[in-house]
Amino acid sequence: MQQLELDNILSGSENALTDRQTDRQTDRQDDSWLDNEFLLQDRIQKIQQIIAQYGEDNFYIAFSGGKDSTVLSALIDMALPNNSIPRVYANTGIELNMIRDFVFELAKTDSRIEVIKPSVPVKKMLETEGYPFKSKMHSSYVKRYQDKGLEHYKSVRAYIGNEMTLSGKPMFRPCPKVLKYQFSDENTLKISDMCCVRLKEEPLRHWQKGNNKPYGIVGIMREEGGRRSNAQCLAFSGGKLNKFQPLAPITKEWEEWFIAKYNVTICDIYKPPYNFVRTGCKGCPFALNLQKELDTLEKFFPNERKQCEIIWKPVYEEYRRLGYRLKPNDNSQTKGQMNLFD
């Protein structure tokens, strides 16, 4: 009898402990929900404040059809019901087909969506300007070197380790040794960071000027890192507002919460079985997970996979030769293995 009572007491203690653990987990979930709701209200208030300050008629949304810009559009609608802010989509010709079709389908029922195109074909632009390689920063340094040589740019010399930066310190993320050949006559590939500028930014600026919309609303997040790691909600140029970036402090975790909580319709390419994470230009050489993206395209969209080889052929060939981001061809000689984050 005493043993039975002891067992009941111990069992009750274990149940009580389990209940307390469950309560703590629930509290953390509740706290997370409160944090998400708090941030949502903060963003709504910020959007209402800035749009009221600068005037709704002066804004447009840079709409790519991707997850971030879709969430941005939904957030704007939540903050400003019945707004007429245009959603401008740059149809570069090398967007993923599912993203393009998603935008076109939305446009059937949303008159605010406007489709623009670059003034020059992709292939011609790449041959004239140069190809993207590794990253925007790296490509910009190679372009400077190819335009004027090392003697004109201290920043380029610092990037390849020939001298210190203006602050007297080595560059934080210098050029990987295996890529220093691109700052010599050994490199024959024309490289540039102008791809996005020519295909997206310039057409947007042209539309902006023609429609008298001085302020773009852009779905940039600091969490994405790189050049975006210092993004602020308000981006100024020459002392004047240039871009409004209300998603700057948002995290991917919050984004997923918002999509689920408010049933935001996003492109199916982000869902199983595709599970895309990045949906910019198809096969973009800047993508860190380029091989995985190409493998997914090969599995589900083989024709788009072939298009990537046509568009980015010179870059892909060099990547394979170096054993960087893409699997080397069987008959290629690797010049050295590179870390994805080099």
The CATH number of residue 241's host domain is: 3.40.50.620
Q: Are residues 218 and 107 in the same domain?
A: yes
Residue 90 lies in a domain: yes
CA 67 vs. chain centroid, Å, equals 10
Residue 20 lies in a domain: no
Residue 271: predicted pLDDT: 97
Selection from 117, 44, 115 nearest residue 83 by Cα: 44
- Count of domains observed in the chain: 3
Q: Is the pTM of this model over 0.75?
A: yes
Residue 31 lies in a domain: no
Side chain identity, residue 159: Y
Q: Are residues 136 and 242 in the same domain?
A: no
Residue 7 lies in a domain: no
Residue 223 lies in a domain: yes
d(CA 33, CA 42): 14
Residue 51 lies in a domain: yes
Distances 109 to 106, 112, 155 between C-alpha atoms, Å: 6, 9, 49
Geometric angle at alpha carbon 63, from 204 and 77, rounded to 5°: 125
**Nearest 10 degrees: CA dihedral of 340, 299, 89, 325?**
10
Residue 204: predicted pLDDT: 95
Tokens of 2: 């005493």
Q: Are residues 273 and 290 in the same domain?
A: no
Q: Are residues 287 and 268 in the same domain?
A: no
Residue 269 lies in a domain: yes
Q: Are residues 286 and 262 in the same domain?
A: no
Q: Are residues 51 and 168 in the same domain?
A: no
Side chain identity, residue 97: N
**Is cis: bond before 273, omega within 30 of 0?**
yes
Strand 59-62 vs strand 215-217: parallel, antiparallel, or unpaired? parallel
Q: Are residues 111 and 221 in the same domain?
A: yes
Q: Are residues 97 and 149 in the same domain?
A: no
Question: pLDDT confidence of 46, banded at 50, 70, 90?
Answer: very high
Q: Is the pLDDT of residue 202 over 70?
A: yes
Q: Is the pLDDT of residue 38 over 70?
A: yes
Q: What is the pLDDT of residues 210-229, one digit of tens each?
A: 999 999 999 999 888 766 67
Question: pLDDT confidence of 32, banded at 50, 70, 90?
Answer: low
Q: Are residues 173 and 321 in the same domain?
A: no
Q: Are residues 110 and 219 in the same domain?
A: yes
Q: What is the pLDDT of residues 288-335, one digit of tens each?
A: 999 999 999 999 999 999 999 999 999 999 999 999 999 987 443 334
Q: Are residues 106 and 162 in the same domain?
A: no
Domain holding 293, by residue range, is 282-328+335-342
Residue 53 lies in a domain: yes
Q: Is the pLDDT of residue 28 over 80?
A: no
Q: Are residues 139 and 88 in the same domain?
A: no
